[in-house]
Amino acid sequence: MGKILGIDLGTTNSAIAVMQGGEPRVLENAEGARTMPSVVAVSKTGERLVGLIARRQAVTNPKNTVYQIKRFIGHMFDEPAVQKDKASVPYEIRKSQNGGIEVKMGDAWMRPEEVSAMILGKLKADAEKRLGEPITEAVITVPAYFNDAQRAATRDAGKIAGLEVKRIINEPTAAALAYGFDKKKDEKVAVFDFGGGTFDVSVLEVGADVIEVKSTDGDAHLGGKDIDQKIIDWLATEFQKESGIDVRNDPLARQRLDEAAEKAKIELSTAVDTEVNIPFITSDASGPRHLLVKMSRSKLEELTQEFIDRALAITKRAMEASPFKIGDINQVILVGGQTRMPALQAAVEKYFGKKPNMSVNPDEVVAIGAAIQGGILGGEVRDVLLLDVIPLSLGIETMGGVATKLIERNTTIPTSRSQTFSTAADNQTSVEIHISQGERAMASDNKSLGRFVLDGIPTAPRGMPQIEVTFDVDANGILTVKAKDKATNKEQSIRIEGSSGLGEADIERMRKEAEANADEDKKKVELVEARNMAEQAVYGAKKALGDNKDKIPMELATAINEKVSALESVKGGDDLVKIKSATEELSKELSKVYEAVQKSGGSDAPQEPGTQSAPEDTDKK
Amino acid sequence: MDDSGEEFVAEEEAVAGPAALKSLREKLKKAVAEKQEYLEGWQRARADLVNYKKETAASFGEKEERIKAEFVKELMPALDVLELSVKHDDSPTLKMLERQFLDSLRKIGVERFGAVGEKFDHYKHEALIQKGDGDTIVTVERSGYSIGDSIIRPAQVII
């Protein structure tokens, strides 16, 4: 069974998402964008165009470029709203034989569902291209106020596009799903959807397995476009004040004002003021003229106050129509790009008395919700498949008391990691595996989860045996640690249940401690590492002297012995610099041994023991 | 799940004969169905990961182009002003600056396009105004830019 495509079929823009690996993912279209204009055209050459490409040629082909078809789908021709909307679009609309609507594109008259099907068809093709597999099923969202005829027509559009529509769901419901509110019972959610051209507000009640729309209200002609228009007018007026030229009737200047207004609007969502800069906007007798206007956020807010007030008045109506009081609302979700505007957020927060939630991208939240609904229907989203993460890192104590992490915190479980360690001393026949949990660098500062001993390791020089340590955390968070000697296959393991056993507060405290002690911990580890290096150098020197007694000149042997005792006297101390320099001096002296051995023609040049690349040594038992 | 397994044995011991057999069969049927469902979910998750990896690998080259395209997008307002300035001002210095700019862009694979006399192509051009009846570009208001096969911005034209 293939994937079920989640489709947000919008009035101005559409978006698609699917479940992948149990997570929703918004798919980019063939043009590389995450949303697509809901525009369809038949070009002069008879080619069908959808999306961005259709919009680009709109002015050359206005009669055959259809946009905002969602306003007409499932309607009857004689409805007053249809008559009103009909006047504002450049394409031709007529009454069909059964009283419905038909729009003209190219030589053909098409039903709105056929036009919508063209949009859906392109979304389907883009998803198939992106995923590399055929898509035959979909979940499509519609506004909560859509009646049966509008829903049925949307379903038909899907069918025409070659999609089996598994379900039509309400846009606010999809938004609630995207936020995972379906898992919380008895939540009351308000969805505030300020889109490009329409405004909707819905009040939902989330019960066991159902999300019910309790009330919905809106304005089909209120959106981001109105705000853009206000900014354009203001900019044009400002320019006229300064230059005396009215650029409003110049289509080229309008186009550039349009872009500049949208850019300014977006910038003012994060900045408190911006500079609108349109060089060569027009020219007069004195030469080219440039528009340069400073715009502040407060100016924008002043210009758009009326729209915010209208949206809030509608929100109030929707609340009154619902069985809830404002205080009952647990969550407020923002949908639509325009809700990024701080003034709008502030107004919503003031009305509901709580911060609205917009942690999911407001342009994508509806498509994501549709994909999740698809996942639920396709059996891909199940409670048993909710994946957890481990809250704190897990590791073992290694030489010098260092905590060596095997699984980092925030790793998604179930998971399994292994690493090979070795012994710290010659002829060491057992290792102790001490499991530590936490972010601190030294094992003693972390929580100890348990320890066990792997013995029966055949005698060998230090660093030779290979002990493979495997950490496995299952879906329930149960940790199994296994140590295996690769030479003998002898193994030992421990199972630690409830490896967290820690409350939220403990975890938080441990993380904070790790942060606070990060510098000091780093120093400690550096010291331990320096000591380990010193240890290795001493070991190496003694071994080299022992192995090559006859080949090393007397003076060199004495010099090495001196350096060894010098290092041995400091390596137990806390002076990092001293340990490092003593180690370095010994290494330097030691390198002369190579030369001496080489000169004497000895083929058994000493191996430098304990090089950096050697596996880390486990703590000595 | 372990718990239900234990209960299940105890229950079977309490009921004897055909009833027990029937109940066992039902449980087996349920277990098989469940096994199948989980197996499918697991396979799907594995397949998703493999496919995602393939897709990521395939889009690696694409990503580099995209980063360049993002960068050029940021430069575009300045490029547009430069283009307009050259149009309005005959200064050789400006022209040289523009040429240098375009050379540098070409080196990273970015091309400027859009010329008067070309046929309107909705994949490359955005029509601002239709003046004549034909589909030939009469003015290029703002040049377009492309990288590889993708359009960073279409040329804005009058036809």
Give the span between the Cα atoms of A608 and A415, in whole angstroms.
37
Active site residue A164: no
Contact A380 B44 (CB under 8 A): yes
Q: What is the pLDDT of residue B6?
A: 45
Determine the distance in angstroms separating the CA of A470 from the nearest CA of chain B, rounded to an integer: 22
- Which is nearest to A139 in space by CA: A274, A4, A319? A4
Token pair 């910038």 in the structure block, residue: A267
Q: Are strands A137-142 and A164-170 parallel, antiparallel or unpaired?
A: parallel
Q: What is the pLDDT of residue A484?
A: 93
Which regions of chain B are under pLDDT 70?
1-15, 60-61
Q: Which one of B54, B64, B128, B159 makes the best mutation probe of the A interface by having the most chain A beta carbons within 10 Å?
A: B128
Determine the distance in angstroms separating the CA of B35 from the nearest CA of chain A, rounded to an integer: 13
Active site residue A171: yes
Token pair 């407020």 in the structure block, residue: A332
Show residues of chain A in contact with B55, CB under 8 Å. 130-132
Q: The complex's ipTM?
A: 0.72
Q: What is the pLDDT of residue A501?
A: 56
Q: Which one of A47, A56, A266, A284 makes the best mutation probe of the B interface by having the most chain B beta carbons within 10 Å?
A: A56
Q: How confident is the model at residue A557 (pLDDT cuts 50, 70, 90)?
A: confident
Contact B77 A277 (CB under 8 A): yes
A379 vs B37, B84, B135: nearest CB: B37
Contact A54 B122 (CB under 8 A): yes
**CA-CA-CA-CA torsion sign (A136, A67, A101, A140):** positive
**Phi, psi values for residue A287, rounded to 5°:** 115, -165
Is residue B18 reached through a cis peptide bond, with omega within 30 degrees of 0 on the bond before it? no
Does residue A379 surpass a pLDDT of 90? no
Q: What is the pLDDT of residues A566-576, one digit of tens each?
A: 888 888 888 88
Helix (H) or strand (E) holding A194: strand A187-194
Q: What is the pLDDT of residues A255-308, one digit of tens each?
A: 889 989 999 999 999 999 999 999 888 888 888 889 999 999 999 999 999 999
Active site residue A3: no
Active site residue A70: yes
> Where is mean pLDDT largest: A271-285, A357-371, A541-555, B80-94?
A357-371
Give the span between the Cα atoms of A346 and A311, in whole angstroms.
13
Give the span between the Cα atoms of A467 and A419, in whole angstroms.
8
* Alpha-carbon dihedral A372, A378, A379, A385, rounded to 10 degrees: -40
Give the span between the Cα atoms of B46 and B38, in whole angstroms.
12
Q: What is the pLDDT of residues B112-156, one digit of tens each?
A: 999 999 999 988 999 988 887 788 999 998 999 999 888 899 999
Tell me the fold of B13-158.
Nucleotide Exchange Factor Grpe; Chain A, domain 2 (2.30.22)
Q: In what order do the strands lie in the sheet with A402-407?
A: A402-407, A394-398, A431-437, A447-454
Give the span between the Cα atoms of A293 and A257, in whole angstroms.
12
Show residues of chain A in contact with B85, CB under 8 Å. 279-280
- What average pLDDT does range A61-83 have in this prediction? 92
Residue of B nearest to A254 (CA): B128
Beta-carbon neighbour count of residue A116 at 10 Å? 29
Contact A21 B45 (CB under 8 A): yes
Show residues of chain A in contact with B81, CB under 8 Å. 279-280
State the greatest distance between any 2 C-alpha atoms of chain A, in Å, as a whole number.
114
Domain boundaries, chain B: 13-158
- What average pLDDT does range A225-235 have in this prediction? 93
Q: Are strands A388-389 and A4-9 parallel, antiparallel or unpaired?
A: unpaired
Determine the distance in angstroms separating the CA of B82 from the nearest CA of chain A, rounded to an integer: 10
Q: Are A435 and A396 spatial neighbours (Cβ–Cβ below 8 Å)?
A: yes
Q: What is the pLDDT of residues A90-117, one digit of tens each?
A: 999 999 999 999 999 988 999 999 999 9
Contact A21 B126 (CB under 8 A): no
Residue of B nearest to A30 (CA): B150
Show residues of chain B in contact with A53, CB under 8 Å. 122-123
Between A and B, how many CB-CB pairs are < 8 A?
71
Q: What is the pLDDT of residue A366?
A: 97
Query: Cβ neighbours of residue A557 under 8 Å, at least 6 residues apart?
Result: A545
| Burial bucket for residue B96 (CB in 10 Å: 0-12, 13-18, 19+) | exposed
- What average pLDDT does range A523-547 have in this prediction? 85
> Where is mean pLDDT largest: A311-315, A425-429, A446-450?
A311-315
Q: What is the pLDDT of residue A1?
A: 59
Residue of A nearest to B155 (CA): A56
Q: What is the pLDDT of residue A620?
A: 39
Which one from A3, A70, A482, A563 is the annotated catalytic residue?
A: A70
Q: How confident is the model at residue A498 (pLDDT cuts 50, 70, 90)?
A: low
Which one from A113, A171, A217, A619 is the annotated catalytic residue?
A: A171
Determine the distance in angstroms separating the CA of A49 from the nearest CA of chain B, rounded to an integer: 9
Q: Are A147 and A75 spatial neighbours (Cβ–Cβ below 8 Å)?
A: no
Average pLDDT taken over every residue of chain A? 87
**Phi, psi values for residue A64, rounded to 5°:** -110, 15
Give the span between the Cα atoms of A53 and A55, in whole angstroms.
5
Q: In what order do the strands lie in the sheet with B125-129?
A: B125-129, B155-158, B139-142
DSSP A390: -
